[in-house]
Amino acid sequence: MSEVGWDADPDVAGWAGFPALEAELRADVCVVGLGGSGLAAVGEALRRGLSVVGVDAGRVAAGAAGRNGGFLLGGPAISVHRAGAGWGPGAALELYRQTLAEIGELAGLLGPRVVRQVGSLRIAGLPGDPVDQAEQADRQAELADCDEQYRVLRRHGIAVRRYDGELGVGLFLPDDAAMNPARRALGLATLYSTRASLFENSPVTAISSGRVRTAGGAVSAGLVVVAVDGRLEVLLPELAGRVRTARLQMLATEPVAPGRLPCPVYGRWGYDYAQQDLTGRLFVGGGRDRFVEQEWTPQSMPTAGVQAWIERVAARFAGAAVRVSHRWAASVGYTADARPLVTQVRPGVVACGGYNGTGNLVGPIAARAAVALGLDGVAPPACFSS
């Protein structure tokens, strides 16, 4: 059995898979990494009428793209009211609008069984009473931040409502959505596989201008797009210093009270988060701020300390003790100013990544910008670091 809770879904468990690359192929574009971002690059190349080969080291969405919280939240990794100043006028807001459009795009491609357009809830703190004065004080500060976010979003015409209910106090963002991330990636891969040549279990061992070598084959291509979020600097060492890999961890529980979480919910400044699927199971992650140094690692095994924290968070979201069924982790990339990278690394080789823990929507937008950079020489928008 997979350790990843999302893989229990019959549509994921029944994935037939693609072959490994065992030949020398030629294509207009070669995409390295078949997560949500790499698949968007595949889709963009197909839209342009180009031939595409895509390769992944493991299954489609073997990395974070199949192991994340499944939140489809509008906006950049840091809230738009805090990103604004450092990113230049309008850059964060423009990215916000594009991410909302991306939800519509995904829903159109994959339908409501995969993309559940249920909104999201930001609450101050975690559900339940604060356990001590420090938690109480932090919750008050976060309530003030919710107020500020509410004002900024309203001013820019982005839908937001105040929330005061069973889970706490905060904001409801009606345009956000939820998904099983593995189903999103496998759904897109299935759609594109009739026109693109996609390969799994084909780790890339070398990338140079116009050529990608894998364990069992090679691809010659006019453009190589490297769409890998975590461990990007391992694959492309010249990006060390611009992107840094961290581990994020999650767990899944046995079913809890149905309808406990009506939509994805995140609390404590977004560090802790949970969504409930239609079977009643909770998918819970968090604690990044509590384990900062030890989680700067390319390793992707779950650890006892972080899992114990998330288990306590899960009980708060459930409103009762939980039984854990799955525990897992994955790698993501962070950048110093929270702007993702879209950059040319070598002639004919572009890369995107560094989504700061929030790449489900930003990643595909970055990947399309990477294709435009590589094929048209169009500079990425200001919300990205080139």
Ligand X SMILES: Cc1cc2nc3c(=O)[nH]c(=O)nc-3n(C[C@H](O)[C@H](O)[C@H](O)COP(=O)(O)OP(=O)(O)OC[C@H]3O[C@@H](n4cnc5c(N)ncnc54)[C@H](O)[C@@H]3O)c2cc1C
Residues that bind ligand X (CB under 6 A): 32-38, 55-58, 61-65, 67-71, 203-204, 227-230, 235, 248-250, 285, 330, 332, 353, 355, 357-361, 363
Residue 342 CB, nearest approach to ligand X (Å): 11
* Owner of token pair 């895509």: 54
Return the CA Rg of the chain: 20
Q: What is the DSSP letter of 227?
A: E
Q: Identify which of residues 67 and 260 has a Cβ nearer to ligand X in the complex.
A: 67
Cβ atoms of 197 and 54 within 8 Å: the answer is: yes
Distance (Å, whole) CA 153 – CA 169: 17
Distance (Å, whole) CA 290 – CA 78: 18
Residue 132 CB, nearest approach to ligand X (Å): 27
Q: Identify which of residues 179 and 322 has a Cβ nearer to ligand X in the complex.
A: 179
Residue 137 CB, nearest approach to ligand X (Å): 27
Q: Cα 202 to the chain's mean position, in Å?
A: 22
Residue 169 CB, nearest approach to ligand X (Å): 22
CB count in 10 Å sphere of residue 344 = 14
Structure tokens at 37: 């971002």
Q: Identify which of residues 163 and 334 has a Cβ nearer to ligand X in the complex.
A: 334
Q: Identify which of residues 130 and 215 has a Cβ nearer to ligand X in the complex.
A: 215
Burial class (CB in 10 A: 0-12, 13-18, 19+), 47: exposed
Q: What CA–CA distances, in Å, run from 380 to 85, 355, 368?
A: 19, 15, 9
Structure tokens at 327: 């525990």
Q: Identify which of residues 64 and 121 has a Cβ nearer to ligand X in the complex.
A: 64
Q: Identify which of residues 93 and 227 has a Cβ nearer to ligand X in the complex.
A: 227
Q: Identify which of residues 149 and 249 has a Cβ nearer to ligand X in the complex.
A: 249
Residue 134 CB, nearest approach to ligand X (Å): 25
Residue 369 CB, nearest approach to ligand X (Å): 13
Cβ atoms of 138 and 132 within 8 Å: the answer is: no
Which residues touch 288 (CB under 8 Å, ≥6 apart)?
246, 248, 271, 295, 357
Q: Identify which of residues 50 and 178 has a Cβ nearer to ligand X in the complex.
A: 178
Residue 55 CB, nearest approach to ligand X (Å): 5
* 3-class secondary structure per residue, 326-381: EEEEEEEEECCCCCCEEEEEECCEEEEECCCCCCCCHHHHHHHHHHHHHHHCCCCC
Residue 133 CB, nearest approach to ligand X (Å): 30
Residue 99 CB, nearest approach to ligand X (Å): 9
The tally of CA atoms less than 13 A away on the side-chain side of residue 223 is 25
Phi, psi of 272 (to 5 degrees): -115, 140
Q: Identify which of residues 146 and 274 has a Cβ nearer to ligand X in the complex.
A: 274
